[in-house]
Amino acid sequence: MSRYYTIAVDAMGGDFGPRVTVPSSMQALARHPNLTIHLIGHQDEITPHIRKLNSDIANRLEIAHTDQLIGMDEKPSMALRHGKGSSMHLALKQVSEGQANACVSAGNTGALMVLGRSVLKTLPGIDRPAIISAVPTLRGHSYMLDLGANVDCAAEHLMQFAIMGSVMTQAVEQIAEPKVGLLNVGQEEIKGNEQVKLASRLISEHGELNYIGYIEGDDIFSGRADVVVCDGFVGNIALKGSEGLANLIRNKVRSSFKKGLYRRLLGLLATPVLAELNRQMDPSRRNGASLLGLQGIVVKSHGGANKKCFGYALDQAVSEIEMDLPIRISRHIENQLT
Amino acid sequence: MSRYYTIAVDAMGGDFGPRVTVPSSMQALARHPNLTIHLIGHQDEITPHIRKLNSDIANRLEIAHTDQLIGMDEKPSMALRHGKGSSMHLALKQVSEGQANACVSAGNTGALMVLGRSVLKTLPGIDRPAIISAVPTLRGHSYMLDLGANVDCAAEHLMQFAIMGSVMTQAVEQIAEPKVGLLNVGQEEIKGNEQVKLASRLISEHGELNYIGYIEGDDIFSGRADVVVCDGFVGNIALKGSEGLANLIRNKVRSSFKKGLYRRLLGLLATPVLAELNRQMDPSRRNGASLLGLQGIVVKSHGGANKKCFGYALDQAVSEIEMDLPIRISRHIENQLT
C-alpha cells in the first residue's frame, strides 16, 4: 500500500527564490511518484520557472499565490509580528491545517523558528524546538543538535535534544541504539560548565538512551557518536566555524594549484578529484536541517542552496514524513513523562 | 644593544617528551643567539638527546634535574595538589623567581593553567588568564581567545579577554588598531546569550578598543577580525571542531587520490601540493598557544607537536619576551581601571 503525501514549499525563500525552489521541486516530483508539492509564493515569479511538464508531474504541482514574503535579513521578531500571509507563514499553516505533511523553506532561519513555533506549537513535553542536521564524519555522518535555535539552554533542554536526536537517528538512519554524545571541553568529569554537567547526569539516568558520555569538538567529525548534543550557541558556532574552515581550505587548494605552470596542469588533471572533495568538504551545505520538537515536519534548506541541495531538503522531508517523525518523538517523550 | 633572555622548557611535557623538546630547543638556540634555555626534567632522559653541540650552543643550554613529571592525562586538580617539584612546576617557578623570562610546555593544558595561575598569579585587574592562539584566515591569521581556560565566563571576563587579545595582536603583529570581534550566533542585535550581549556593551564602551561588533563562526577563518573573543567553552569546541574537520578532509583527500590507478598517479604527482595543504590545514598545530593574563610568559605547545612545531612555540615565547607582553597588558588594564 502506497502512502501519498504533500510538501508545502516556501517558494520565495532562500538567496535565489523560485529560480531554485521551483525547478528543484519539479525534480523532486519526478523522484517521488507519491509526492504532491504546493508552491507557496508569487504566481508571476513562480510560473516562468515551470516548464515542459509532463502531465503526471503537472497534476502533482499546485501554486498557492501570495505577494508577501519574509526577507532573508528580516529580524525574527518582525517576522513574527508582520509575517502573516507571507509564503513562509502560509507554508507552515498548510502543515498545521493538514493540507500538507511537511514544510520546506530555504528562508531566514530565525523567522522559520519563531513562525514554526507559533504556528505549529511544540510537542507535549518539549519546551523548545531544536535544529538538527547531518554532519559528515570519518565513518559516514552523524546528527548534531541544537544548531542555533536556542542560545541559552538549561540541562532539561539538552536532555530533550538528546531524546529527539536519538529518535530521529533511529528512524531515519535505521540505527537501533544510536550512540548519544554530549559536547564538552574535555572528557574528564571535572570539566564542563554547569548546565552540561547537570545534563550529563540527566541523560545518563534516562534508561532508553545509549549515552556514551562527553565528547570533544574533534569528535563532531570523527563519528564516535551518532548524535552530538549541544546548546544552540555552541552548535551554531561550531558548525559555522567548520563552514568557514572548509571555505578557507577550498581557497588554499585553489591557490596551491595555481603556483606555476606545472601545478596549474596538475590542478586541471585533478579537477574531478577536487570537485568531489568540494562536495564532501562543507558540512552544512549538503543536507537540509530539520526543526525537531514541533507538531509537524519543518525542514530548513541552506539559504544559498542550489537546485540539487534544495532537493536534498525535499528528500529529507519525504523521509521524515515516511517515518512519522513527530509522532515517534512524541511517543518517546510520553514514555519518559509517564 | 642586545637583550639576553632565558626560556625554561618543561622538557618532559608532550606526547614525545625529551625526544622532541631537547632537539627542538637546540635548534631554537641556533636560531636565537641571545637565548639561553633551561631544560627541566629527568637528566637521564634529556642527556641522550643532546648531541654534536658546538660550544656556543652548549654554553647556552642548562639542565635542571627532576624525576617528577605531570602525566598528559592527569587531572588539573591532582596536578595542583601533587605537582610540586614536577618539570612543569619547576619551569613555571623559574619564571616567577626571575631565573627565566618565559616558560614553554607541551604538557597537559589544564595542569599548566592551574599551576601557572598558582605559581605566577594573574596580573592586577585580570580575574582569569585566557588561552590565545593564532588561527589561519583567508587574509593571513588572526588571534582567538579564550580557547579553554574558562568554561563559565561573565561579561567582564570577555572584556578582559578583548583587551588582552588586542594588546597581544598590537605587540606581536605590529597592527596599530587590531579589529576586535565578539563571537556570537548572529549579527542581529537580538541574538546571542546574555553574557555575550552584556560583554558587547562593555567592549563597545571601552574607548581604546577597535571593536567591530559581533562576528559569526564562519568569520573565525575569514579574517574579518584580528582578535576573536569568546568564552573558553565555545572557543575550545570551535577550535577542536576545526581540528576534527581538518582531519576529516585530510582523510578524504587521501582516499580520493586512491580510487584507481589514474588518481593514484595524480596523487603521487600532487604530493608536494598536498603536503603544503596539510601544513596549512590544521589551525591548531602550527603555533604555540599563549596563556595571557599571568605575571609572566607561558606558552603552551600542542601535545602532539614535532620538533618544528615545538620550535614555533619557542619562537612565540621569544617574541613575547621581546615585546614585554605581560607589562604591556598590565599597562592597558591599569589605564582602564584608573
Cell of residue B316, nine digits: 612565540
Cβ–Cβ gap A152/B220 under 8 Å: no
Which residues pair with residue A172 across a beta bridge? none
Can you name the CATH fold of B127-284?
A: Isopropylmalate Dehydrogenase (3.40.718)
Numbered ranges of CATH 3.40.718.10 in chain B: 1-123+293-324, 127-284
Three-class secondary structure of residue B300 per DSSP = strand
Task: State yes or no: pLDDT of A338 exceeds 70.
Answer: no
Instruction: Specify the pLDDT at position A285.
Output: 53
Fold of domain A1-126+293-332: Isopropylmalate Dehydrogenase (3.40.718)
Segment B112-137 mean pLDDT: 92
- Give the pLDDT of residue A189: 47
- Region of A53 (left: φ > 0; alpha: ψ -120 to 50; beta: rest) is beta
pLDDT tens digit sequence for A222-265: 999 999 999 999 999 998 898 888 888 878 777 777 777 777 77
- CA angle, A234 then A240 then A243, to 5°: 145
CA B292 to CA B133: how far, in whole Å?
Answer: 10
Kindly tell me the sign of the dihedral angle through the C-alpha atoms of B196, B197, B202, B208.
positive
B247 neighbourhood in chain A, CB within 8 Å: 138, 218, 221-222
- Name the strand (E) or helix (H) holding A29: helix A18-31
CA B292 centroid distance within chain: 9
**CA gap B105, B39 in Å, rounded:** 11
- Calculate what percentage of chain A has a pLDDT beyond 70: 93
Q: Which residue of A has its CA nearest to B238?
A: A238
Report the distance separating Cα B310 and Cα B142, nearest Å: 20
Is the complex ipTM higher than 0.95?
A: no
How confident is the model over B9-42, as pLDDT tens digits? 999 999 999 999 999 999 999 999 999 999 999 9
Provide, as residue numbers in chain B, all residues whose Cβ is less than 8 Å from the Cβ of A223: none
Q: Which secondary structure element, helix H or strand E, spans residue B203, and what is its range?
A: helix B194-205
Q: With bands split at pLDDT 50, 70 and 90, how would you rate the model's confidence at B286? A: low
Residue B34 burial by CB count (10 A; 0-12/13-18/19+): exposed, middle or buried? middle
For A249, nearest residue in chain B (alpha carbons)? B281
Cell numbers for A34 = 507519491
Distance CA A245, CA A217 (A): 14
Average pLDDT over residues B85-99: 96
Q: Residue B55 pLDDT > 70, yes or no?
A: yes
Answer left, alpha or beta for residue A260, where phi above 0 means left and psi between -120 and 50 means alpha: left
Q: What is the pLDDT of residue B189?
A: 47
Give the total residue count for chain B. 338
Cβ contacts of residue B272 below 8 Å, gap of 6+? Answer: none
Q: Could you list the beta-strand ranges (E) of chain A.
A: 5-10, 35-41, 61-65, 102-105, 130-137, 140-145, 179-183, 210-215, 227-229, 289-292, 297-300
Cα B73 to Cα A187, A191, B68, B136: the distances in Å are 10, 13, 15, 28
Average confidence score pLDDT of chain B: 88
Give residues with Cβ within 8 angstroms of A308, minimum separation 6.
A24
Note whether B263 contacts A: Cβ–Cβ < 8 A: yes
Say what the pLDDT of residue A192 is. 63
B245 or A28, greater pLDDT: A28
Average pLDDT over residues B205-234: 92
Q: Which among A151, A234, A273 is the nearest to B233, CB-wise?
A: A234
Q: Which three cell numbers stand for residue B286?
A: 602550527
Query: Residue B267: pLDDT above 80?
Result: no
For the cut 60, the answer to whether the pLDDT of residue A123 exceeds it is yes
DSSP E strands in A201-266: the ranges are 210-215, 227-229
pLDDT at B198: 92
Q: Residue A284 belongs to what H/E stretch? A: none
Q: Which of A163-177, B98-112, B264-278 has the lowest mean pLDDT?
A: B264-278
- For the domain B1-123+293-324, what is the CATH code? 3.40.718.10
The amino acid occupying position A60 is R
Q: Please give the Cα distance from A301 to A290 (Å, whole number).
A: 9
| pLDDT attached to residue B117 | 93
Give residue A200's pLDDT: 93
CB pair distance less than 8 Å for B277 and A249: yes
Residue among A233, A239, A268 with most chain B CBs within 10 A, to mutate? A233
What are the pLDDT digits (tens) for B151-204? 778 899 999 999 999 999 998 888 999 999 999 986 554 556 788 999 999 999
**Is 90 exceeded by the pLDDT of residue B288?**
no
Q: Which B positions 45-104 lie with beta carbon below 8 A of chain A? A: 75-77
Query: Which residues contact residue A329 at a Cβ distance below 8 angstroms, ignoring those fewer than 6 apart?
Result: A123, A126, A163, A164, A167, A168, A292, A293
Kindly determine whether residue A237 and residue B222, on different chains, have CB atoms separated by under 8 Å: no
Instruction: Give me the pLDDT at residue A281, please.
Output: 63
Nearest to A193 among B138, B217, B233 (CB): B233
Residue B281 pLDDT exceeds 80: no
